[in-house]
């Protein structure tokens, strides 16, 4: 499931990177999209770390890594909320929701590994 999350985050990162190139001339929007791309890059890193911790049977650390991975997109969403007049892209909202669901499943699996 963690690999599915990594694929989702990678696809979202690629989507955001393409949006930077094709987005409007709105510099604030471009900045937010670039920042969000960074957050999804951090998401990938956190999920990669969770895989390493799962392989080492360090389940507490793996759990924290997946939780961090789920939080980075929320930071992206919040940056749009702090920018009046800029709507959070609906495509990004769908991708964020998908990643959250994937991370929730991964967390449930890790919970069961600990038991």
Q: At what angle do helices 27-55 and 2-22 cross, to 10 degrees?
A: 160
Q: How many domains does the chain divide into?
A: 1
pLDDT tens, residue by residue, 43-53: 999 999 999 99
Q: What angle do CA 42, 37, 77 make, to 5 degrees?
A: 90
Q: Which domain CATH number covers 6?
A: 1.20.140.40
Q: Is the whole model's pTM more than 0.75, yes or no?
A: yes
For residue 23, the enclosing domain spans 2-114
pLDDT tens, residue by residue, 58-91: 999 999 999 999 999 999 999 999 988 888 989 9
Q: What angle do CA 112, 114, 115 make, to 5 degrees?
A: 70
């Amino acid at each position: 499931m963690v690999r599915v999350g990594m694929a989702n985050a990678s696809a979202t990162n690629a989507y955001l990177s393409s949006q930077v190139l094709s987005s409007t001339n709105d510099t604030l929007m471009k900045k937010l999209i670039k920042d969000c791309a960074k957050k999804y890059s951090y998401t990938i890193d956190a999920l990669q770390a969770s895989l390493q911790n799962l392989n080492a049977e360090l389940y507490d650390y793996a759990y924290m890594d997946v939780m961090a991975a789920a939080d980075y997109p929320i930071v992206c969403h919040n940056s749009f909320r702090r920018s009046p007049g800029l709507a959070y892209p609906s495509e990004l909202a769908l991708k964020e929701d998908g990643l959250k669901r994937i991370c929730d499943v991964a967390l449930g699996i890790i919970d069961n590994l600990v038991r």
